[in-house]
């Protein structure tokens, strides 16, 4: 799953207005939620609504994910059976506490798909319990075999379980766990999303927390309200300057005089192939509209006097 993952919006699957609105929102991912956002009496209806929404489309968001209920709950198995073959790009597994939690979902997906050779959805693991944090390495190490691609920080559940104040002093109580998530994700080549910010009317507070997540190394942030999308996209996306510099690096290495060189002089700066790879990855991750340099408008032809 290439592409930017700056913003991933949770959408309660039992709210028809939210589902309808979500289809046209410019988040990099939508996560149709069957778990915490849906009360037990509405679980079956929410699953049916998520299925219908996935089939109907079209979706502006390039990535469509569904957060299932845990397999240990009364609904998890039915969620996987119904959704595995219905085209979501990813299934988000809540409260993952062991590699087995990920492998068991993959096994259910295979069963649901009749053991077809098709790859099925990617798996994202929510890390939101003390055990999940402790077992993070074991969970991430299962990535290749089970199709785990992304770790998601579950701020609300973790703070509740730890009896800590998640917001005090710029998330001081959570910092060690946030950094550990980034460390493990990078060690195992996974993507990593920061937790949600509950006060959706506090744009300043959201921006400050998103900038902190960006500084810590997260790819993007999970969101609860459409009002948070634009800020997340801006804060986690590459700046115009970074895009411009990436193009300069790619062009410089493409010059004949630089063919086969490991390091080059670019306006007095050493630039290595590592930077070239980073520049290419940045350009590859951009949405189509940003991937090509903006064409300068041709100058209007001057009227020549005859
Ligand atoms: N996804 C899509 N649309 C959403 C949305 C979301 N997460 N949250 C709100 N909207 C829509 C509303 O449906 C409403 O659309 P409408 O004008 O067509 O009715 C519009 O955005 C404005 O919503 P607003 O009135 O500001 O908020 P609300 O009171 O309807 O909802 C919340 C507030 C917090 C209950 C709601 O944002 C929500 O349910 N968020 C997701 C919660 C969740 O998934 N939690 C689990 C993960 S932590
Ligand atoms: Mg939760």
Ligand 2 centre distance from Cα of residue 267 (Å):
49
Specify whether the CB–CB gap between 47 and 63 falls below 8 A: no
- On the question of pLDDT at 174 being above 70, the answer is yes
Q: Which of 149, 153, 139 is nearest to 104 (CA)?
A: 139
In the chain, which ranges are continuous DSSP H helix? 16-22, 43-56, 76-83, 99-112, 130-134, 136-141, 143-146, 155-162, 168-171, 175-187, 203-216, 229-236, 240-254, 273-285, 288-291
The closest residue, in CA terms, to atom 45 on ligand 1 is 37
Quick check: CB of 196 below 6 Å from ligand 1?
Answer: yes
Strand (E) or helix (H) holding 214 = helix 203-216
Residue with tokens 């996987």: 80
Give the β-pairing of 269-272 and 263-266. Answer: antiparallel
The closest residue, in CA terms, to atom 13 on ligand 1 is 18
Test site for ligand 1: of 31, 201, 226, most ligand atoms within 8 A of the Cβ: 226
- On the question of pLDDT at 158 being above 60, the answer is yes
- On the question of pLDDT at 142 being above 70, the answer is yes
- What pLDDT shows up at residue 34? 98
The closest residue, in CA terms, to atom 42 on ligand 1 is 224
Which ligand is located closest to the Cα atom of residue 18?
1
3 state DSSP class of 99: helix
- 301, with CB counted inside 10 A (0-12, 13-18, 19+), is exposed
Percent of the chain with pLDDT strictly greater than 70? 93
Specify whether the CB–CB gap between 31 and 67 falls below 8 A: yes
Residue with tokens 């089939």: 55
Q: How confident is the model at residue 295 (pLDDT cuts 50, 70, 90)?
A: low
Quick check: CB of 120 below 6 Å from ligand 1?
Answer: no
Q: Which of 195, 97, 191, 210 is nearest to 154 (CA)?
A: 195
The number of residues making up the chain comes to: 306
Q: Which of 237, 233, 144 is nearest to 187 (CA)?
A: 144
C-beta neighbour count of 267 within 10 angstroms: 7
- What pLDDT shows up at residue 116? 77
Phi, psi (degrees; rounded to nearest 5) at 63: -120, 125
Class of domain 7-236: alpha beta
Digit-coded pLDDT (tens) for 67-114: 999 999 999 999 999 999 888 999 999 999 999 999 999 999 999 988
- What pLDDT shows up at residue 169? 93
Digit-coded pLDDT (tens) for 241-285: 999 999 999 999 999 999 999 999 999 999 999 999 999 999 998
When the pLDDT of each residue in the chain is averaged and rounded to a whole number, the result is: 93
Q: Who wins on pLDDT, 56 or 164?
A: 164
The Cα–Cα gap between 271 and 84 comes to 45
Dig out the tokens for 124 from the structure. Answer: 């994202």
- What pLDDT shows up at residue 98? 96
The residues, ordered by sequence, that sit 6+ positions from 14 with a Cβ below 8 Å of its Cβ are 37, 38, 39, 42, 45, 46, 49
Test site for ligand 1: of 21, 43, 49, 160, most ligand atoms within 8 A of the Cβ: 21
Specify whether the CB–CB gap between 4 and 237 falls below 8 A: yes
Q: Give me the residue spans of the domains in the chain.
A: 7-236, 240-285
Nearest atom in ligand 1 to 10's CA: 44
Dig out the tokens for 108 from the structure. Answer: 């259910």
- What pLDDT shows up at residue 171? 96
Specify whether the CB–CB gap between 80 and 105 falls below 8 A: yes
């Amino acid at each position: 799953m290439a592409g930017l993952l700056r913003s991933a919006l949770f959408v309660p699957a039992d709210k028809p207005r939210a589902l309808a609105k979500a289809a046209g929102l410019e988040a990099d991912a939508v996560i149709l939620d069957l778990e915490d956002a849906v009360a037990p009496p509405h679980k079956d209806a929410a699953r049916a609504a998520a299925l219908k929404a996935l089939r109907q489309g079209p979706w502006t968001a390039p990535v469509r994910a569904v957060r299932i209920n845990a397999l240990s709950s009364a609904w998890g198995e039915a969620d996987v059976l119904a959704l595995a073959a219905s085209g979501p790009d990813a299934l988000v597994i809540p409260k993952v506490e062991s590699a087995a939690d990920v492998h068991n979902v993959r096994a259910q997906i295979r069963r649901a798909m009749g053991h077809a050779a098709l790859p099925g959805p990617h798996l994202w693991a929510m890390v939101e319990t003390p055990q999940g944090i402790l077992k993070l390495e074991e969970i991430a190490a299962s990535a290749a075999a089970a199709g785990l691609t992304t770790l998601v920080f579950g701020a609300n559940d973790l703070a509740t379980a730890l009896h800590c104040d998640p917001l005090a002093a710029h998330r001081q109580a959570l910092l060690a766990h946030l950094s550990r998530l980034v460390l493990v994700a990078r060690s195992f080549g996974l993507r990593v999303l920061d937790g949600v910010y509950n006060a959706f009317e506090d744009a300043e507070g959201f921006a400050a927390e998103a900038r902190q997540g960006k500084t810590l190394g997260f790819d993007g942030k999970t969101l609860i309200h459409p009002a948070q999308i634009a800020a997340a996209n801006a804060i986690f996306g590459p700046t115009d300057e970074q895009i411009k510099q990436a193009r300069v690096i790619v062009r410089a290495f493409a010059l004949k005089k630089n063919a086969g060189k490991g390091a080059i002089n670019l306006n007095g700066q050493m630039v290595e192939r590592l930077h070239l790879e980073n520049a290419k990855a940045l350009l590859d991750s951009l949405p189509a509209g940003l991937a090509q340099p903006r064409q300068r408008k041709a100058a209007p032809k001057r009227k020549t006097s005859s």
